[in-house]
């Protein structure tokens, strides 16, 4: 953490100099060193002095960048435990099988990546052999965020330890037939192995930070002590360009998450070429992480460089390494010794003399092969320093060569990310380099063989013994046999059945009131995780502050300005609310960690994340997809929903399409409730489905998306009758008829069915009155709580027909026998209600708020989009006129009457 007492440079001139003579002596000494020994020596002494000051706890600005050398010198490296030769053989088998798997799959055209794991093999193997705790020991084990493109190497290791067989490997990226392996870490596709989806760049690092933070949250709240768990995130240096990758670095440092380690594989290449062609990505990342308060460990050079550094008595080598841009280091990887002598060493007379002492073989060994990330001893030293560091998270910057050991055709080539296979000759050269006992005759018909030393071989026994000592296989995901959570008392839900009487209540407020009651439940209340991105007061949640507390690992070290008020701002170490500040991405990362705690930690938690609906799916839909992949459970709540409901806010705040985006996510159950009692029924059903007794064949690994509104409106009593709750859950029920609504229409009047969702049902109810009183039309009003669930049910019925199963979709069943055409309306674009159009037998039309939002009153906005009650009346008359049930002139009369 940055020392708050550190004197910043801008403040130095503000302090009186208590001893100008002593200050002048220090300055004169520095001038003398620069004059006599040169500016490089002076800079060296200053850096060493600042490092000593930092180590001694003297409050000074920290260095943001250090020399382009290893943080841990060879002389300070701890001894590598275990059997290094055995680990090298294991790594060789894994390198081979990873490359073989992708190459064999290339004949099917399914793709794959070889070069990433080739560069990172030792970064993973050292962790698997010595650091990564499994889930069969005490606690929850470690959480591993594997770099997506390295997945072949993880599969290769699972093959070596017996968790996968050749059939699995041959079905890499071929899942449709069963027993296939997904391309990347996808828990939904391979739930016994993968815990965390990471291949969507930037989401891995963001999620890892919030997972480490959520681990602390669980411990501090007394839910489960997971203080022994460590979060490891393996990332690419190119991936760090994504804004999400670095979005939460300050949070990790601020909360002192020393249970977190980033390992960035700095092979200096992204997908198309160098990460920083004209610059140095390692130095950039070091400054970025150190500036954010992280502990930084650089592991750049292998032991072959020790001789060169020992010869560097003038510092010329270190200076030259700082000067050379990354793209040129990549070029050295592919050029001969003569080129390196001229271009690298020839830049400084002192380096020219050094080069005379080096053989060509030594130069090529250093510049072609020797990187810190390729040596177990170097990586072990870095990891040990990381897990032992206290008070801040650690990032390990490990330099590697992309395509290492794959041959000259791969190493450091710009195109190696897209290179999917090796030739037989390249495999034979790789075999010889790795020293594997694979015979030429094993290549049958040009097909590269998989390699395995045998289930009872020393390599496999060693691997399994190391994993047993660390708590079992890794990576691994465990689905715990958790007892269903007891259902909360019915009172909390039934309190909405009677309606709000004369009081107007927004459905946002109804949801918050329901949560207030549910968090008081003795059995499950403490398992709720309220998440909000600095808008709690907008949603009326401030009353939860003093009762639940806002989570802070520091507690509350100040007296809040509103301490004398009833709803004061209360932070607590065991606080239940996660108030994340203005970060929807961070809030979603919170939600993902909480929603999967049932698997990660064997603790069922019930997160609800409430947000401006416009800033949910539109902004963080990629994380919602990640949530579905990770099999998360919980409630997403899009508050201040709808295109016209958030009065005055305008284009960027007006949500008219989040249900469309949500409908694209197979794990999302999307609801647009109109009334408070509907909210209660949906939440109750969600708790049962996700956390209670599942029905046969029911997938519990879903999450709910509810849109709720900030417009205070009358909340009616729940209608009496059978099937209301079922209709709410399935997505549609008849709220009233023209007769039950008490509106007056002539006998044998034309009839129409009005379907409304969310706040739009209130316009439909007003249109029902106008149609009866002013146009002699009877309208029945239906509440469409979920257009997307109606569609999903209908699609499942269609799929059943292809299997010979006949079932009528629920939407058709519900509307069966309903007289007249159907007119659907919502506060969203027409595409939302149109999801069900093809399954409605009656004539169907819709209204919606298509286009950009605008700033105005609710009434004006609804008139603008043509969704207000009068617009519904005109649309209804137009439908009936087409059928010859009202005069065509009635449509024109209505438009003129209402000024449309």
Q: Which two tokens stand for residue 723?
A: 């099937």
pLDDT of residue 411: 62
Angstrom CA distances, 800 to 488, 596, 694, 803, 810, stand at: 36, 31, 22, 5, 14
pLDDT of residue 6: 47
Q: SS3 of 293, please?
A: coil
Residue among 410, 445, 406 at smallest CA distance from 429: 406
CA distance 481 to 11: 59
CA distance 658 to 698: 25
CA distance 875 to 867: 9
Strands 231-236 and 260-266: parallel
The DSSP string of 78-110 is: PPP-S-HHHHHHHHHHHHHHHHHHHHHHHTTT-
pLDDT of residue 2: 46
Q: How many residues does the chain have?
A: 900
298: which strand partners?
Answer: 397
User: What single DSSP character describes residue 231?
Assistant: E
- The low-confidence residues of the chain, meaning pLDDT below 70, are 1-14, 409-420
Q: Using H for helix, E for strand and C for coil, what is the string for 867-881?
A: CCHHHHHHHHHHHHH
pLDDT of residue 420: 59
Q: SS3 of 566, please?
A: coil
CB 846 within 8 A of CB 834: yes
Strands 733-736 and 778-783: antiparallel
pLDDT of residue 418: 56
CA distance 337 to 698: 65
Tens-place pLDDT, residues 365-417 = 999 999 999 999 999 999 999 999 999 999 999 999 988 888 776 665 555 55
551: which strand partners?
Answer: 572
Residue among 462, 459, 463 at smallest CA distance from 473: 463
CA distance 371 to 305: 9
pLDDT of residue 481: 79
Q: Is 434 exposed, middle or buried (0-12, 13-18, 19+ CB in 10 A)?
A: middle
Strands 844-847 and 578-579: unpaired
Question: Could you tell me which residues come within 8 angstroms of residue 11 by beta carbon, excluding any fewer than 6 positions away?
Answer: none
Q: What is the pTM for the complete model shown?
A: 0.94
Q: Which two tokens stand for residue 287?
A: 């400054």
């Amino acid at each position: 953490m940055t020392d708050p007492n550190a004197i910043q440079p801008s403040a130095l001139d503000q302090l009186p100099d208590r001893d100008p003579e002593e200050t002048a002596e220090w300055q004169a000494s520095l001038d003398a060193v620069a004059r006599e020994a040169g500016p490089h020596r002076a800079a060296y002494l200053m850096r060493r002095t600042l490092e000593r000051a930092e180590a001694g706890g003297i409050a000074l600005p920290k260095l943001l960048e250090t020399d382009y050398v290893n943080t841990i010198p060879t002389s300070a490296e701890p001894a590598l435990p275990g059997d290094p030769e055995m680990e090298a053989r294991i790594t060789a088998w894994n390198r081979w099988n990873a490359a073989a798997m992708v190459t064999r799959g290339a004949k099917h055209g399914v793709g794959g990546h070889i070069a990433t794991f080739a560069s990172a093999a030792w970064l993973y193997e050292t962790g698997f052999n010595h650091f990564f705790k499994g889930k069969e020991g005490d606690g929850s084990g470690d959480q591993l965020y594997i770099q997506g493109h390295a997945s072949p190497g993880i599969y290769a290791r699972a093959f070596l330890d017996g968790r996968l067989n050749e059939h699995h490997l041959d079905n890499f990226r071929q899942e449709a037939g069963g027993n296939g392996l997904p391309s990347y870490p996808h828990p939904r596709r391979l739930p016994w192995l993968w815990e965390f989806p990471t291949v969507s760049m930037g989401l891995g690092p963001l999620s890892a930070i919030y997972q480490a933070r959520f681990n602390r949250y669980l411990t501090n709240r007394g839910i489960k002590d997971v203080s022994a768990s460590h979060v490891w995130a393996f990332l690419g240096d190119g991936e760090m360009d994504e804004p999400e990758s670095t979005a939460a670095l300050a949070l990790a440092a601020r909360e002192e998450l020393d249970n977190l380690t980033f390992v960035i594989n700095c092979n200096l290449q992204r997908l198309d070429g160098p990460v920083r062609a004209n610059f140095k990505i390692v130095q950039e990342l070091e400054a970025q992480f150190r500036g954010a308060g992280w502990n930084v460990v650089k592991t750049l050079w292998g032991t072959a460089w020790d001789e060169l550094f020992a010869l560097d008595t003038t510092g010329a080598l270190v200076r030259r390494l700082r000067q050379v841009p990354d793209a040129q280091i990549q070029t050295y990887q592919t050029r001969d010794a003569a080129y390196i002598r001229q271009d690298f060493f020839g830049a400084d007379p002192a380096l020219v003399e050094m080069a005379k002492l080096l053989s060509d073989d030594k130069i090529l060994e250093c510049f072609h092969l020797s990187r810190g990330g390729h040596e177990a001893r170097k990586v072990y030293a870095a990891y040990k320093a990381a897990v032992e560091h206290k008070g801040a998270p650690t990032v390990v910057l490990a330099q590697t060569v992309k395509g290492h050991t794959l041959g000259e055709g791969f190493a450091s080539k710009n195109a190696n990310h897209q290179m999917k296979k090796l030739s037989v000759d390249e495999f034979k050269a790789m075999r010889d380099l790795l020293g594997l006992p694979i015979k030429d005759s094993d290549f049958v018909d040009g097909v590269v063989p998989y390699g395995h030393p045998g289930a009872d071989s020393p390599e496999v026994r060693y691997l399994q013994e190391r994993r047993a000592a660390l708590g079992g296989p890794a990576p691994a995901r465990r689905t715990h046999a958790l007892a269903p959570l007891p259902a909360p008392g019915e009172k909390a839900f039934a309190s909405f059945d009677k309606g709000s009487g004369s009081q107007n209540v927004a459905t946002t407020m109804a949801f918050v009131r329901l949560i207030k009651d549910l968090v008081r439940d003795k059995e499950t209340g403490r398992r709720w995780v309220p998440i909000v991105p600095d808008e709690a007061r907008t949603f009326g949640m401030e009353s939860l502050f003093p009762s639940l507390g806002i989570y802070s690992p520091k507690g509350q070290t100040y007296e809040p300005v509103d301490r004398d008020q009833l709803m004061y701002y209360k932070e607590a170490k065991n606080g239940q609310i996660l108030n994340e500040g203005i970060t929807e991405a961070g809030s979603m990362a919170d939600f993902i960690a909480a929603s999967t705690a049932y698997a990660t930690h064997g603790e069922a938690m019930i997160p609800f994340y409430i947000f401006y609906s416009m800033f949910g799916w539109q902004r963080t839909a990629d994380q919602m997809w990640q949530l579905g992949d990770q099999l998360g459970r919980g409630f997403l709540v899009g508050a201040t929903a709808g295109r016209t409901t958030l009065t005055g806010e305008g284009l960027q705040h007006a949500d008219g399409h989040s249900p469309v985006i949500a409908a694209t996510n197979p794990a999302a159950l999307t609801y647009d409730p109109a009334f408070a009692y509907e909210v209660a029924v949906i939440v109750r059903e969600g708790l049962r489905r996700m956390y209670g007794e599942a029905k046969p064949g029911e997938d519990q690994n879903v999450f709910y998306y509810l849109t709720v509104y900030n417009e205070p409106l009358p909340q009616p009593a729940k209608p009496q009758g059978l099937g209301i709750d079922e209709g709410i859950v399935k997505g549609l029920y008849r709220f009233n008829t023209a007769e039950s609504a008490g509106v007056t229409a002539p006998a044998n009047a034309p009839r129409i069915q009005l379907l409304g969702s969310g706040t739009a049902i209130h316009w439909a109810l007003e249109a029902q009155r106008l149609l009866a009183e002013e146009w002699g039309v009877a309208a029945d009003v239906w509440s469409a709580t979920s257009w997307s669930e109606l569609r999903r049910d209908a699609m499942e019925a269609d799929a059943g027909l292809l299997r010979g199963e006949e079932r009528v979709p629920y939407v058709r069943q519900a509307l069966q026998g309903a007289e007249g055409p159907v007119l659907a309306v919502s506060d969203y674009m027409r595409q939302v209600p149109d999801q069900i159009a093809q399954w409605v037998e009656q004539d169907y039309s819709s209204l919606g708020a298509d286009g950009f939002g605008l700033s105005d009153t609710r009434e004006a906005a609804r008139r603008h989009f043509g969704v207000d009650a009068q617009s519904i009346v005109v649309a209804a008359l137009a439908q009936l006129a087409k059928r010859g049930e009202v005069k065509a002139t009635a449509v024109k009369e209505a438009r003129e009457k209402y000024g449309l």
